[in-house]
A = this chain, B = another copy of it.
Amino acid sequence: MTINIFEQDLDKGPANFIPQTPLGFLDWAAHTYPEKTAVIHGERSFTYREFRQRCLRLASALSKRGIGKGDTVSVMAPNSPPMLEAHYGVPMTGAVLNALNFRLDAETIGFILGHGEARVLITDREFSAVIREALGTLDHDILVIDINDPLAPEGERLGETDYESFLDQGDPAFEWVMPDDEWQAICLNYTSGTTGNPKGVVYHHRGAYQNAMGAVVVSGLNRDSVYLWTLPMFHCNGWCYTWGVTAVGGTHVCLRQMDPAQVFALTKEHRVTTMCGAPIVLNMLVHAPDDVKTTFDQTVDTFTGGAAPPSAVIAGMERMGFRVTHLYGLTESYGPATVCAWQDQWNELGLEDRSSKMARQGVRYPTLFAQSIKDPDSMEDVPADGETMGELMLRSNTVMKGYLKNKAATDEAFRGGWYHTGDLGVLHEDGYVEIKDRSKDVIISGGENISSLEIEETLYKHPAIMEAAVVARSDEKWGEVPCAFVTLKPDSGDVAAADIITFCRDHMAHFKAPKLIVFGPLPKTSTGKIQKFALREQAENI
Interface of chain A: mostly helix, strand, loop or mixed: loop
Check if B69 sits within 8 Å of A18, measured CB to CB.
no
Q: Is A369 an interface residue (CB 8 A)?
A: yes
Pick the most buried of A13, A183, A202: most chain B CB atoms within 10 A of its CB: A13
Q: Which residues A1-26 have CB closer than 8 A to chain B?
A: 4-18, 20, 24-25
The answer, among B18, B117, B217, for a CB contact under 8 Å with A397, is B18
CB closest residue in chain B, given A404: B5
Q: Determine the chain B residues whose CB is within 8 A of the CB of A69 once the complex forms.
A: 4
CA distance A17 to B343 in the complex (A): 30
CA distance A243 to B410 in the complex (A): 34
Check if B366 sits within 8 Å of A15, measured CB to CB.
no
Q: Determine the chain B residues whose CB is within 8 A of the CB of A8 once the complex forms.
A: 405
Check if B6 sits within 8 Å of A395, measured CB to CB.
no
Check if B402 sits within 8 Å of A9, measured CB to CB.
yes
Q: Mark A329-348, 1 if CB is under 8 A from B, else 0.
A: 00000000000011100000
CB closest residue in chain B, given A8: B405
Q: Determine the chain B residues whose CB is within 8 A of the CB of A7 once the complex forms.
A: 70, 185
Q: Is A394 an interface residue (CB 8 A)?
A: yes
Q: Is A435 an interface residue (CB 8 A)?
A: no
Q: How far is the CB of A171 from chain B (nearest CB, A)?
A: 19
Q: Is A140 an interface residue (CB 8 A)?
A: no
Q: Mark A385-416, 1 if CB is under 8 A from B, else 0.
A: 00000000011110111101101001000100
CA distance A216 to B217 in the complex (A): 7
Q: Is A222 an interface residue (CB 8 A)?
A: yes
Check if A34 sits within 8 Å of B431, measured CB to CB.
yes
Task: State the number of copies, please.
Answer: 2
Check if A217 sits within 8 Å of B248, measured CB to CB.
yes
A12-B183, A14-B417 known; A217+B223 contact, CB < 8 A: no
The answer, among B15, B96, B248, B399, for a CB contact under 8 Å with A15, is B399
Check if A15 sits within 8 Å of B395, measured CB to CB.
yes
Q: Determine the chain B residues whose CB is within 8 A of the CB of A431 once the complex forms.
A: 31-32, 34
A32-B341, A217-B217 known; A369+B6 contact, CB < 8 A: no
Check if A369 sits within 8 Å of B14, measured CB to CB.
no
CA distance A184 to B4 in the complex (A): 11
Q: Mark A425-438, 1 if CB is under 8 A from B, else 0.
A: 00000010000000
Q: Determine the chain B residues whose CB is within 8 A of the CB of A521 once the complex forms.
A: none
CA distance A183 to B366 in the complex (A): 21
CA distance A369 to B13 in the complex (A): 14
Check if A4 sits within 8 Å of B399, measured CB to CB.
no
Check if B400 sits within 8 Å of A16, measured CB to CB.
yes
Q: Mark A287-303, 1 if CB is under 8 A from B, else 0.
A: 00000000000000000
Q: Determine the chain B residues whose CB is within 8 A of the CB of A185 once the complex forms.
A: 6-7, 10
Q: Is A419 an interface residue (CB 8 A)?
A: yes
| Interface magnitude class on chain A | 35 or more
Check if A369 sits within 8 Å of B18, measured CB to CB.
yes
A4-B69, A6-B185, A28-B364 known; A222+B223 contact, CB < 8 A: no
Pick the most buried of A10, A402, A414: most chain B CB atoms within 10 A of its CB: A10
Q: Is A363 an interface residue (CB 8 A)?
A: yes
The answer, among B16, B18, B222, B402, for a CB contact under 8 Å with A10, is B402
Q: Is A213 an interface residue (CB 8 A)?
A: yes
Q: Which residues A348-371 have CB closer than 8 A to chain B?
A: 363-364, 366, 369-370
CB closest residue in chain B, given A217: B216
Pick the most buried of A70, A248, A396, A407: most chain B CB atoms within 10 A of its CB: A70
CA distance A410 to B24 in the complex (A): 26
A363-B32, A366-B28 known; A407+B9 contact, CB < 8 A: yes
Q: Determine the chain B residues whose CB is within 8 A of the CB of A407 once the complex forms.
A: 9
Q: Is A163 an interface residue (CB 8 A)?
A: no
CB closest residue in chain B, given A13: B414
Pick the most buried of A28, A341, A396, A407: most chain B CB atoms within 10 A of its CB: A28
CB closest residue in chain B, given A343: B33
A28-B364, A341-B32, A363-B31 known; A414+B16 contact, CB < 8 A: yes
CA distance A396 to B24 in the complex (A): 12
Having A11-B402, A18-B396, A220-B222, one finds 13 other A-B pairs with CB under 8 Å, namely: A6-B96, A6-B184, A10-B202, A10-B402, A16-B396, A16-B399, A18-B395, A20-B397, A24-B369, A28-B364, A31-B431, A32-B363, A248-B366
A residues with CB within 8 A of B: 4-18, 20, 24-25, 28, 31-34, 69-71, 96, 117, 183-185, 188, 202, 207, 213, 216-217, 220, 222-223, 247-248, 341-343, 363-364, 366, 369-370, 394-397, 399-402, 404-405, 407, 410, 414, 417-419, 431
Q: Can you identify 20 A-B contacts, CB atoms within 8 angstroms?
A: A4-B71, A5-B405, A6-B404, A9-B402, A10-B410, A11-B402, A12-B183, A13-B417, A15-B396, A15-B399, A15-B418, A16-B395, A16-B401, A16-B402, A16-B419, A17-B397, A18-B397, A25-B366, A32-B363, A213-B217
